[in-house]
Amino acid sequence: MHLILLGPPGAGKGTQAQRVAERYDIPQISTGDILRGAVKEGTALGRKAVSFMDAGQLVPDDLMLDLVRERLGRDDCSEGFILDGFPRTVPQAEGLEKVLTDLGESVNHVLSMKVDSELLVKRLTARRVCPDCGRGYNLQTQPPNKEGICDACGASLIQRSDDVEKTIRNRLKVYENQTAPLEGFYRGKGLLHLIDGVGTIGEVFERMVAGLDALNSNGEL
């Protein structure tokens, strides 16, 4: 099962990829999470990436492809994976094909999540995350039991540095200009499936699983 989850910022890629990964026992590979980890640790990659991320711009393709080549080569990817936030440009998608060909694999399906822009801005301005255990919250839909405090580990919740409205709007523009063309790229290969990303988290997950199980029973996964 080699899956790609496409979708604009706030579509629910991370939320759904985590659930899909658990359901099918494959790793979730979030390039955003890997980059934020590198920034936190102050690695060379993190130092190169941070200014792009804080501006809502994409990190250069060559850095992203090096990162993904290394990650997909690890043992836990031998039965498949779900990519969350990669590829984000046509050169990244072409680079991914080469990486997978070298590993004797290929992408099976691309799920593209559709959510209207104003709802995306609402979701992202309300998102909070735990800096210690990584658990996600949303002030509108999934608030913590005690304001500002992680239910799981008691740490103080923070807002992602790119979750301020001006940067969110920039990320949405970058998505439209640089990432949305990937729908055409994958449609042309017969791999694209559109998923309505509006509804509760559980409803969207059920839609994804129904789609994936149908592909599975057709022998396509």
Of 8, 26, 7, 15, the closest CA to residue 204 belongs to 15
Assess whether 187 carries a catalytic annotation: no
36 catalytic? Reply is: no
Please, what is the angle between helix 44-55 and helix 61-72, to 10°?
120
CA 37 – CA 42 distance, rounded (Å): 9
Nearest CA among 32, 28, 34, 71 for reference residue 54: 32
Q: Which residues bind ligand AP5 (CB under 6 A)?
A: 7, 9-15, 31-32, 35, 52-53, 56-59, 64, 85-86, 88, 92, 123-124, 127, 136, 138, 141-142, 162, 171, 199-201, 204
Binding to Mg ion in span 9-48, by CB under 5 A? 13-14
**166 annotated active-site:** no
If the CB atoms of residues 119 and 220 are measured against ligand AP5, the closer one turns out to be 119
Q: Is 156 exposed, middle or buried (0-12, 13-18, 19+ CB in 10 A)?
A: exposed
48 is catalytic: no
Smaller CB separation from Mg ion, 14 or 56: 14
Shorter beta-carbon distance to ligand AP5: residue 3 or 162: 162
Q: How far is the CB of 148 from ligand AP5 (least distance, A)?
A: 15
Q: Which residues contact 94 (CB under 8 A, 6 or more apart)?
A: none
160 is catalytic: yes
Q: Which residues bind Mg ion (CB under 5 A)?
A: 13-14
